[in-house]
Structure 1
């Protein structure tokens, strides 16, 4: 894939584009590499050493961690203009989760030494990264607390809202999810079983909260979903 120049990028919500000075953008362009990943490809694996951070140009990606030996839990969904691998930064430079594409994706890689220098040289970038970490931690703690005391229906509702927050609705059909993960992935987000997800989705459809159209989900009553998952 061609190398995309940070200095002429139109992804205005990308942290590099938004918070790095114009003097730094050509330097980052020089050192970064870009890769096309097919659906189901692993960008980095749990336990890999952290060599840098990743910036999503296009596509959709799940961040997955394992527990109890072989069980998988999706801890984050990410899309264009968002970072990957930043949670691996710190004292022990090891990824605690894996990143796997949900659809064909274009992802850029910035070496860790270049990223650290950019952080030190660009105070806006450093401050916004700090706020980003804080907001992610707050959202993660809120979700964990919610999931610990939730019913199966509430867990699935939280999963649907997580998908909406990450990927939104179809641009021309405002009630249809822009992207619907597999039922197995929804179960992995919810921390429940595939069978439970199938049952809860069926019940939500009978209650006219959602409508299942093949593998996709249409939301008919967003306010009820928010109430069900105790969303603000």
Structure 2
């Protein structure tokens, strides 16, 4: 089922695919003049925090986690980017190093666009400029909401919200009534929720016993998204 009108998905998720959608042909050709495509295997790193950017990355197919690593080597996932989204451009726009790391969560096809082509396209394309500003503004709002969520909501509510958001990302050729399987490790889910793996497993078991979801190996099948929405609003 669609959650439009019953859950404010835009408060928790941002989509940057609109940045490239229907760009004027001249702008698109300028941007992609020297692009290259690479297949990354599951868990392979695309870029690391602190490295200098040499270009931007477009997710042609797959899913990518953006994360930071603390002094103890523990990952904190900031966001999961989906097919059609752009990553790595913040560092180029700020003229700084990457503020976080990125790794694929499944085998993914990633398109690389050199820094020089990206900057030239921005300089010449008012359409691209406008879309980037809009995307950055939306991303800031989403991250602000996420900070509030971590500060004010329980693990149970945070997990419900993240399952709703991730479920949307796994909608591929969706037909009404079709179950959606979320393929994510419990470690990554715990990192995204900001808690210990044991807490995530405990709450998932609770949801499973309540008939809200089912599991098959590491896959999570959401059976009752309405109930997750209710929990997120408790």
Residue of 144, 167, 171 corresponding to 2:147: 144
**Cα RMSD between the aligned structures?**
2.1
Moved over 4 A (4+): 172-175
2:25 corresponding residue in structure 1? 22
2:114 corresponding residue in structure 1? 111
TM-score by length of 2: 0.85
Whether the 8 Å CA contact 2:43–2:106 is kept in 1: the answer is yes
Please state if 1:93 is matched with 2:57. no
Residue of 175, 187, 192 corresponding to 1:189: 192
TM-score by length of 1: 0.86
Please state if 1:74 is matched with 2:77. yes
Provide closer, same or farther for how the CA distance between residues 91 and 14 of structure 1 changes in structure 2, counting only shifts above 3 A.
closer
Report Cα offsets for 1:140-171 as digits up to 9, x if no partner.
11121012111121121122123123333673
Residue of 149, 155, 158 corresponding to 1:155: 158
2:191 and 2:177 map into 1 onto residues whose CA distance is 25
Whether the 8 Å CA contact 2:18–2:131 is kept in 1: the answer is no
Alpha-carbon shift at residue 68 of structure 1 (Å)? 4.3
Provide closer, same or farther for how the CA distance between residues 205 and 170 of structure 1 changes in structure 2, counting only shifts above 3 A.
farther
Could you list the runs of 5+ residues in structure 1 that have no partner in the other structure?
A: 1-12
1:83 corresponding residue in structure 2? 86
1:16 and 1:73 map into 2 onto residues whose CA distance is 28
Whether the 8 Å CA contact 1:183–1:194 is kept in 2: the answer is yes
Could you list the runs of 5+ residues in structure 2 that have no partner in the other structure?
A: 1-16
